[in-house]
Structure 1
Amino acid sequence: MTRLSSATLASLPAAVRRPGYDRSKLEPGIVHLGLGAFARAHLCEFTDDALEKDFGAWGITGASLQRPDQRDRLKPQDGLYTFLKRAPAGPELRVIGSVLDVLVAPENPQALVAKLAAPETRIVSLTVTEKGYCHDPATGRLKADHPDIVHDLANPAAPRSAIGLIVAGLAARKAAGLGPFTALCCDNLPSNGHVLAGLVRDFAALRDDKLAAWIEANGAFPSTMVDRIVPATTEADIAEVASLLGLDDAAPVIGEPFRQWAIEDVFAAGRPRWDAVGAQMVSEVAPFEFMKLRMLNGAHSSLAYLGYLAGHETVADASRDPVFAHFLQGLWGEIIPTVPAPQGVDLKIYARDLLARFQNPAIRHRTWQIAMDGSQKLPQRLLGTIRERLKAGAPIDHLALGVAAWMSYVTGTDEKGAAIDVRDPLAAEFATRAKAAGRDAAALSTALFGIGAIFGDDLPREQRFTQAVAGHLGSLFQKGAKATAAALG
């Protein structure tokens, strides 16, 4: 079958939406680090919409920081790919045109640094996942002993971390007498722009105090809140897209119709008209981010661990199970009192809408995918809420079960004794501690509570928390996830 490309774009079926602007005139203005599925279903679609509304030099150069796969899929397609929206009423397809090129950092880091330093680059955006920031999630500070940071300090012209690349690009711009680009974090980190600014300044200070001062005075690091469910693309998805297009597409992305993007309107050198196509430009993104982090992400993680343990492959399957739907209502009942409502938002309605999104049968968001990198996610998604509930003397039964389910999951063995492919920066440490503890819930929970990067020094001393988690963990081992969740009432 013929491949999707600029040459074959005109042959698409009439029902397939295609770029509504002259792509041959599109010039680059954005470099995106970590061009994965989420960025292509969120940032790139918003940018396509903005280009249709108000055309400008805002084409995207993607950068892969580890592997050439994305470049190898997109290059033969001239950067084009299909976005398949899975709505309950049926699929909707559009071809996204905002990606102009893809670089692979390990192959030529100097070329990527040169692109960051180029005068036309005005925004550098990121979706590199929590672990890509080389930071301590508990403190938000740079881990100066992280292998990638150590490497980048020793090799400033050939960095491999996102932080090292951003600083190298800014250093080159300063040396050339250019202003800075805006560094736009689109990852699920609390106060992500402020965290990124701190990490960049920390790294820059280790290189050059004057560079750090220049970034402090001139840099722009707006915080953002992004929201859209984007499941991993499967071979079945690729085959479906090909049948609907009549063309092969090696790089389609799948997502739900819903999308949300709140952005602090602080840019160093302009931005696309994202506000004209649905993005919320705000003075402070924290209330939206905080609501989403605790209510959506906290529920997503808890449901992913419990659902996976119970044998549910997808979020839709797990959340449509009456036991887990009821668990989510109880979980949100514990979370909502800790969340100040953003202006115009009713948190109970927001929770209702979240459940409807989770239960969308057209979206096959795998529980295993959401369960990845829990050591990086738990401190932000669940543990902060637990700390507040403990301080208030409020119940934490549902929250504690989410943590216990994570503990059961990272042992690497499911309820039927099958191996779990645990993807986490601390997976080896989990395996070592789990092997020593065996199926002893008290021993295992104590061992995992000892990982300070996740739980800090305070939570392991909170007996109401540790006992609740250990109790739930024992029940998970003995009765399973569904029975344990049902017992909460």
Structure 2
Amino acid sequence: MMPVVLHFGLGAFHRAHQAVYTEDAGGWQIEAVSMRDPTLADAVNGQAGYTLVTRTPDGPVLRQIKGITRGHALSRGAGPIADRLADPDVHVVTVTITEKGYGLDRATGGPDQAHPTMSHDLAHPGDPRGLIGTLLLGLDRRRAAGTGPLTIICCDNLPDNGAVLSGLLRQTAQITHPDLIGWIDDNCTFPATMVDRITPATTPETTELVKAQTGRDDPLAIETEPFTQWVIEDRFAGPIPDWHAAGAQIVDDVAPYEMMKLRMLNGAHSTLAYMGLLAGHACVRDVMGDATLAPCIRAVMDTAGRTLPADLETGAYADALMERFANPSIAHRCQQIAMDGSQKMPQRIFATARDALAKDIDVAALADATAAWLTYLATADTVDDPLAEAICSAARADDPVARIADVAGLGCRDVLEHPIWQDAVRQALARRGAQH
């Protein structure tokens, strides 16, 4: 039996990123948990692998990925998944469930008791529906079985994501499994990571291309860009796949890589999504072809770069990002990036603004990004966000800049209430209003 990575979050990003690294490392298999949609797990179990389409400027390159050998559906019950967590063949857990999936209270670092899934799991720890509850149920069974240590790796865009996941797990355990905390401390590690690969949502064009090239319908087919990066903190509880041989960087400190990516790539991504949608653009490449908007995207990168350590090559990184975003073969939709802005803007834009204000760096570009977000919230027909009602109400108020700071669960109140920041965002909103 091969050793197993148990992965939570059977989405496109995992299939384009960690699954590829693990297959290239050799000698391991992945069992992947679909958090909501059981059809994804059924598709994994019903076919041998899936097609990865890499969109290069010279044309698409197709590859079959076969490393995900089994799918689980959390919606059908956490018990079987908790049993897998107790199995001695499982040495590593990886997670990509997006920022909103954790049920995290950003103010405390603990469980958000207003989050529907987290609220259920706190009340019913023996029958969880979310990641944290399922992990705790499985770790409790692993302890009872005497199985041994486990490495748990968060791959979502959360600052210091290993520590965030560790803290959330422990604070939740204080409520539901207090006797488990000591075992977690002794047996589990939570390496920080940084992940990077632009992965648009699959479109009918993707599936049609795959069928034309392979002769098969493939509901798991995905497309991605040529660039890929995975930086992992060297802190493992036991054996891991040879990800280093597959191209991952195993480092002592992930923080500089993480901060540069969050602030420059992700911050620019959110900016172009909202500015692009407001300008009527569908895809990232369209925004980058807009002579008015492209300089705004670069300005966010350059401002973010000035908040980062001086030894990072932020100018070269920004140049590479501008080229990647403009890739004409990648149809990365602005609407996909615009989802869940309340979960993304705090670490992508507001944290950058905090450091910029402290260093007396002009925040106009970041304020422009925020003004675009607020305008989008105020004018969009529908907003896909866990805080949609609160943030849209704030954005439509007479003074959205003041009101957005009061939204519970958004965090970064020190930034959002800073007078220089508020003045900059109000000016950006005024400029935006004058343009329309």
1:430 aligns with 2:391: yes
- Hey, what does 1:458 align to over in structure 2? 414
SS at match of 2:227: coil
The partner residue of 1:327 within 284, 296, 311 is 296
Q: Is the 8 A contact 1:138 1:379 kept in 2?
A: no
- Hey, what does 2:403 align to over in structure 1? 447
The partner residue of 2:24 within 36, 45, 49 is 49
**Cα drift, residue 452 of structure 1:** 4.2
1:273 aligns with 2:242: yes
**Cα drift, residue 141 of structure 1:** 3.0
CA RMSD, aligned part only?
1.7
Cα deviation digits, residues 127-174 of structure 1 (max 9, x gap): 010111111234533324533233223322221111111111111111
Cα deviation digits, residues 356-415 of structure 1 (max 9, x gap): 0000010111111111111011110010111111122221111001011111111243xx
> Where does 1:336-415 land on structure 2 (aligned, <5 Å)?
336-340=305-309, 345-413=312-380
Amino-acid identity (%): 43
SS at match of 1:31: strand
Alpha-carbon distance between aligned partners in 2 of 1:452 and 1:470, rounded to the nearest angstrom: 21
Cα gap change, 1:330 to 1:372, in 2 (>3 Å): same
Alpha-carbon distance between aligned partners in 1 of 2:61 and 2:408, rounded to the nearest angstrom: 45
The more displaced of 151-160 and 296-305 is: 151-160
State the TM-score, normalizing by the size of structure 1: 0.86
Q: Is the 8 A contact 1:105 1:112 kept in 2?
A: yes
- Hey, what does 2:254 align to over in structure 1? 285
Cα gap change, 1:391 to 1:139, in 2 (>3 Å): farther
Give, as a single letter, the amino acid of the residue that structure 2 aligns with 1:378. M
Q: Is the 8 A contact 2:268 2:298 kept in 1?
A: no
Alpha-carbon distance between aligned partners in 2 of 1:139 and 1:86, rounded to the nearest angstrom: 41
1:59 aligns with 2:37: no
Cα gap change, 1:180 to 1:203, in 2 (>3 Å): farther
Give, as a single letter, the amino acid of the residue that structure 1 aligns with 2:24. D
SS at match of 1:430: helix
SS at match of 1:321: coil
**Cα drift, residue 42 of structure 1:** 0.1
Number of aligned positions between the proteins:
436
Alpha-carbon distance between aligned partners in 1 of 2:113 and 2:12, rounded to the nearest angstrom: 29
Query: Any unmatched runs of 5+ in structure 1?
Result: 1-25, 414-418, 481-489
Q: Is the 8 A contact 1:126 1:185 kept in 2?
A: yes
Specify the structure having the higher radius of gyration (Cα): 1
State the TM-score, normalizing by the size of structure 2: 0.96
- Hey, what does 2:4 align to over in structure 1? 29
**Cα drift, residue 225 of structure 1:** 0.4
The partner residue of 1:75 within 38, 45, 48 is 45
> Where does 1:37-436 land on structure 2 (aligned, <5 Å)?
37-51=12-26, 56=27, 58-78=28-48, 80-340=49-309, 345-413=312-380, 419=381, 421-434=382-395
Alpha-carbon distance between aligned partners in 2 of 1:118 and 1:411, rounded to the nearest angstrom: 49
Query: Any unmatched runs of 5+ in structure 2?
Result: none
Alpha-carbon distance between aligned partners in 1 of 2:304 and 2:416, rounded to the nearest angstrom: 21
